[in-house]
Amino acid sequence: MSVVPGPSSSLRHEAVSFAGVVERNWYLIKRYGWWELAFFFWSLANTLTIVFIAKGIKAAGGQIDVNRATTTLLIGAVIWSFLGLVFEFMTETVAWERWEGTIEYTFMAPIRRPVHLAGVGIFAVLYGVLRSAVLFVVIALMFGLHMPDANFLAAAIVLAIASISFMGIGTMTSVLPLISPEKGAQLGFIAQGTLLVISGVYYPVSVLPGWMQWLSTISPATYALRGIRHAILDGAGITSLWGDIWPLIIIGVIAFPLGVWIFKQGEIYAKKHGKLKRSG
């Protein structure tokens, strides 16, 4: 007697589970629709505080190409907001499930953890891309920015490749609410800030002290920011961006499996010490 289905149905099973994660997140976003709008205005305000800096320097008598400087800052601010969304969304998924108590049901279901986490991550990235794109367009229009040479397709490809690493880092941060439900979710912000400060979010990496410059070489955000700026400001294509793309591929290939491995360790710890339960 065999009560367990065979491996033939396994691939379909993974695909359905994966779609389930995406579907669930869609339901939640739908239910909290008005909050989306409120948070969008918050990120808009945040981004504006940065983007006005270029005009401010000019007004103070600085010699600066306002259009180029504003676009440079805008790209940094939009990536900042994008990473914030991705990390927050990924940590939040675990924190939220813990809060609702559904995490026990998710963790006792026959789903492979990499599939589960990839589902969460890909949704977070798509959602982040959508909101960041709107943010970018709104501000570019507000400032009447000219981007005559921009190669948006190349920029999107760089972002997509970088997102594999971002998903990996997001997975690492999402392990924390598993261990500390109250404070763990905050760690997304720490990861976001640390990553961006060493990656030249509003300045070239060359202005950083030596040890930070060294760190910037292993940060995927460094290559993402530089590649996207190159594509949007100078119209660089994929071939001239290769120098930023190959490090992203290498970091991504390491970061996502590493993230899943770390998450798995967190899960084992939680199952050893009874951290998944809320009550009963």
Partner 1 sequence: MFAVEVDNLRKEFFRRDAARTHMRKRRRRVAALEDVTFTMERGECLAILGQNGSGKSTLVRLLSTLLLPDGGTATIFGHDVVRDSRSVQRLVNRVSVEASFFKKMSSEENLSYAARFYGMGPTETREKIPRILSRVGFPRDRKHEGMEHLSRGMQQKVALARALLTSPVLLLLDEPTTGLDPRSKLEVQDFIREVRRTHDATILLCTHDLQEAEILADRIGILDRGRLIALASADELKERYKADTLEDAFFSATGRSFEEEDEDAERGVFA
Ligand X SMILES: Nc1ncnc2c1ncn2[C@@H]1O[C@H](COP(=O)(O)OP(=O)(O)OP(=O)(O)O)[C@@H](O)[C@H]1O
Question: Could you list the residues that contact Mg ion (CB under 5 A)?
Answer: 280
Interacting span for ligand X (CB under 6 A) from 104-112, 191-199, 230-238, 272-280: 272-280
- Please report the DSSP string for 75-88 in residue order: HHHHHHHHHHHHHH
Asked if residue 132 lies in contact with residue 81, where contact means CB atoms within 8 angstroms, the answer is: yes
- Nearest to ligand X of 6, 274 (CB atom): 274
Q: Which of the choices Mg ion, ligand X, partner 1, none does residue 16 contact, using the CB cut-off of 5 to 8 A by kind?
A: partner 1
Interacting span for partner 1 (CB under 8 A) from 38-46, 158-166, 189-197, 265-273: 265-273
- Count of helix runs (H) and strand runs (E) in the chain: 12, 0
User: Is 12 an interacting residue with respect to partner 1 (CB under 8 A)?
Assistant: yes
**What is the pattern of x (binds partner 1, CB under 8 A) and - over residues 20-49?**
xx-xx--xx--xx-----------------
Q: Which of the choices Mg ion, ligand X, partner 1, none does residue 101 contact, using the CB cut-off of 5 to 8 A by kind?
A: partner 1
- Written as one letter, the residue type at 253 is V
**How many other C-beta atoms lie within 10 A of the C-beta of residue 32?**
11
Q: How far is CA 257 from the centre of its chain?
A: 16
User: Cα 214–220–222 angle (5° rounding)?
Assistant: 60
User: Is 180 an interacting residue with respect to partner 1 (CB under 8 A)?
Assistant: no
User: Is 144 an interacting residue with respect to ligand X (CB under 6 A)?
Assistant: no
- Nearest to partner 1 of 31, 211 (CB atom): 31
Nearest approach, Cβ of 271 to ligand X (angstroms)? 10
Give the C-alpha separation, 39 to 62, whole Å: 34
- Nearest to partner 1 of 19, 218 (CB atom): 19
Instruction: Name which of residues 113 to 132 contact partner 1 (CB under 8 A).
Output: 116
Cα end-to-end distance, the chain, whole Å: 34
Nearest approach, Cβ of 275 to Mg ion (angstroms)? 16
Give the C-alpha separation, 65 to 73, whole Å: 12
**Residue 188 burial class via C-beta count within 10 angstroms: exposed 0-12, middle 13-18, buried 19 and up:** buried
Q: Tell me which residue has its CB nearest to Mg ion.
A: 280
- Nearest to partner 1 of 68, 112 (CB atom): 112
**71 Cβ contact list (under 8 Å, min separation 6):** 140, 145, 147, 232, 233
By the criterion CB under 8 A, which residues form the site for partner 1?
1, 3-5, 9, 12-13, 16-17, 19-21, 23-24, 27-28, 31-32, 100-102, 104-112, 116, 268, 271-274, 276-280
